[in-house]
Structure 1
């Protein structure tokens, strides 16, 4: 059995809104075009699956079921057929919450590609913060 080591980077932002409000907003895929440009510019539900036009091409996104733990995990199936697991958490804080995205480096991914993905996630989280704090 082969063992693979994967590099991870935890990218987070603090949002000055209650965790439940952030989770409710961010867990609704119809809101993702407003803040998650790195994942896609448009989302449509097709045969019970969310499909997005992303910078990588058309992708399918399967979300974790709604839950009380702030888990926003989702699998993204790329045009190549590869599925990428994305762990995301909304964690309550004394004031507001923290949203943490764990970016995993895929096998064969260059340092430049990994850095580009990290920058896209950071930008998306910054947009989520702006959207949530403007209300």
Structure 2
């Protein structure tokens, strides 16, 4: 196993929709099961948290940054182990469309293969987000 710390990878996708539309959809945690398959098929609000009971990892709790005008979709995911993973995400203008940028942070003791697998999962989730938003025009 590798013990590289502080390594990041920016995974992004261009979406042919304006920033407001992309942010409005992606910032609503109720929409997560449609595009973020790593969280499972359902998510329910519990106060300021969103709970996915049936994620592939088990029960996870998601807390998003408050809605804002800056396109910030940062969120913490608390895993069944109790570990909390911070996920920085931004929606930024890209011409008439948008770019969604997810900063994947390598976790301590994460192998190269695990880091690649996480990056592939994020890329697939962003591709689903793009498909959903572009087909809903």
Q: What is the TM-score of this pair, normalised by structure 1?
A: 0.93
Partner of 1:90: 91
| Aligned counterparts of 2:56 and 2:31: Cα–Cα separation in 1 | 18
Q: SS where residue 119 of structure 1 aligns? A: helix
| Aligned counterparts of 1:74 and 1:89: Cα–Cα separation in 2 | 11
Counterpart mapping for 1:1-135 below 5 A: 5-52=5-52, 53-135=54-136
| Aligned counterparts of 1:18 and 1:10: Cα–Cα separation in 2 | 21
Unpaired runs of 5+ residues, structure 1, are none
Write out the 4+ residue segments of structure 1 that deviate beyond 4 Å after TM superposition: none
- Shift in Å, 1:93: 1.4
Q: SS where residue 129 of structure 1 aligns? A: helix
| Aligned counterparts of 2:66 and 2:103: Cα–Cα separation in 1 | 18
- Shift in Å, 1:96: 0.2
Q: CA RMSD in A?
A: 1.2
Q: SS where residue 71 of structure 1 aligns? A: coil
Q: What is the TM-score of this pair, normalised by structure 2?
A: 0.92
- Shift in Å, 1:42: 1.1
Q: SS where residue 72 of structure 2 aligns? A: coil
Unpaired runs of 5+ residues, structure 2, are none
- Shift in Å, 1:45: 1.2
Residues 36-73 of structure 1, C-alpha deviation per residue, up to 9 Å, x if partnerless? Answer: 10233210112431011322111000000000000000
